[in-house]
């Protein structure tokens, strides 16, 4: 939960009276209560109801009807103005760090996490130090402003540890697989909520992606998806990809949904929007959706041996 008194102080300092509030899908249900609390502090409140998946996905229409947009649950990925960010911390049990220590083979380990567990990182580092393991935590980068922070589209904080073994503190296997592909390190996915520890297997993902590239080779045209969202628009990359094939056309989309891809009817798409779309949502899509690097492989300008996980740098 965010601190409403702290938010009130920030809004007062910025002289805001009308406030738009936005949160990702899992936190949206808290918005009516937040709106109520802000209303009783004297604000006019607008709730953003559109889907939101990250700080790349700011509701600028809602912001423009207000003095400011309060974006909850993420840190900034760009310098969009009149937006303030409120992290939503999620606590967890750090005994998972104690449990992973015997599985480490070296005397140092990279340590990364997602923004909701950022506040646990120092304590996790202390636990490692206490057992003689040197924790390596990379500093901030433009897209990940917290130390040790990774995103589904940026594993820079893992790469910059330079470590052979990396501990990911967080839920799910998408980030750990991305870290493994981005670094080549041995990765331990330590979930502070369930207590599970897994070593992700990236080979299965690579086999699936290789099959998609093969399938896409027969396509007679390619839709190069360009996002209209604030922090996902990679138009220069889309231009470069279009230059690789005379059968490639740019398609501008806000939401990338199976229905839209079905209606557009391309036999293959290349995704320059959120990298997770191609990896996470392929099963829902009616045609192969390649990453930019996979399209380069298809066009013969990159080897599969030099496969790179898609990131927005």
Candidates 13-21, 134-142, 148-156, 183-191; binding stretch for ligand SF4 (CB under 6 A): 148-156
- The candidate with the shortest Cα–Cα distance to 170, out of 143, 129, 200, 141, is 200
173 binds ligand SF4 (CB under 6 A): no
Give the nearest distance from C-beta 172 to ligand SF4 in angstroms.
12
148 binds ligand SF4 (CB under 6 A): no
Say how far apart CA 94 and CA 115 lie, in whole Å. 16
3-class DSSP assignment, residue 19: strand
Give the nearest distance from C-beta 161 to ligand SF4 in angstroms.
20
Give the nearest distance from C-beta 76 to ligand SF4 in angstroms.
10
219 binds ligand SF4 (CB under 6 A): no
Give the nearest distance from C-beta 291 to ligand SF4 in angstroms.
13
Residue 92, CA distances (Å) to 89, 174, 187, 190, 296 in order: 10, 19, 20, 11, 41
The upper half-sphere exposure of residue 214, i.e. CA atoms within 13 Å in the direction of its Cβ, equals 6
List all residues 6 or more positions away from 184 whose beta carbon is below 8 Å from its beta carbon. none
3-class DSSP assignment, residue 235: helix
By CB under 6 A, name the one of 232, 271, 272, 291 that touches ligand SF4: 232
Give me the 152-171 binding string for ligand SF4, x by CB under 6 A, dash otherwise.
xx------------------
List all residues 6 or more positions away from 73 whose beta carbon is below 8 Å from its beta carbon. 23, 24, 26, 27, 86, 87, 88, 115, 116
Give the nearest distance from C-beta 197 to ligand SF4 in angstroms.
24
C-beta of residue 62 within 8 angstroms of C-beta of residue 105? no
71 binds ligand SF4 (CB under 6 A): no
Give me the 175-204 binding string for ligand SF4, x by CB under 6 A, dash otherwise.
------------------------------
Give the nearest distance from C-beta 5 to ligand SF4 in angstroms.
28
Binding site for ligand SF4 (CB under 6 A): 53-56, 77, 151-153, 231-232, 274, 276, 312
């Amino acid at each position: 939960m965010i601190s409403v008194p702290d938010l009130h102080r920030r809004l007062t300092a910025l002289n805001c009276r009308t406030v738009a509030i936005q949160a990702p899908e899992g936190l949206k249900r808290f918005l009516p209560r937040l709106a109520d609390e802000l209303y009783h502090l004297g604000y006019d409140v607008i709730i953003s109801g559109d889907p939101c998946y990250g700080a790349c996905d700011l509701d600028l229409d809602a912001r423009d009807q207000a003095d400011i947009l309060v974006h909850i649950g993420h840190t900034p990925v760009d310098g969009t103005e009149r937006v303030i960010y409120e992290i939503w911390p999620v606590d967890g049990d750090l005994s998972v760090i104690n449990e992973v220590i015997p599985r480490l083979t070296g005397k140092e380990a990279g340590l990364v996490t997602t923004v909701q567990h950022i506040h646990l990182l120092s304590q996790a580092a202390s636990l490692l130090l206490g057992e003689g393991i040197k924790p390596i935590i990379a500093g901030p980068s433009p897209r990940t402003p917290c130390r040790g922070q990774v995103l589904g589209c940026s594993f820079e904080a893992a790469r910059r540890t330079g470590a052979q073994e990396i501990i990911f503190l967080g839920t799910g296997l998408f980030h750990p697989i991305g870290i493994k592909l981005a670094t080549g390190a041995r990765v331990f996915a330590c979930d502070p909520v369930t207590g599970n520890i897994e070593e992700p297997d990236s080979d299965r993902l690579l086999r699936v992606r290789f099959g998609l590239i093969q399938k896409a080779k027969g396509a007679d045209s390619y839709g190069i998806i360009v996002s209209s969202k604030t922090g996902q628009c990679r138009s220069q990359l889309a231009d470069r990809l279009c230059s690789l094939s005379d059968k490639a056309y740019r398609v501008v989309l806000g939401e990338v949904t199976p229905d839209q891809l079905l209606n557009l009817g391309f036999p293959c798409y290349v995704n320059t929007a959120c990298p997770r779309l191609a990896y996470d949502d392929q099963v829902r899509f009616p045609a192969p959706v390649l990453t930019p690097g996979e399209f380069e492989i298809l066009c013969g300008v990159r080897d599969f041996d030099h496969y790179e996980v898609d990131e927005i740098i």
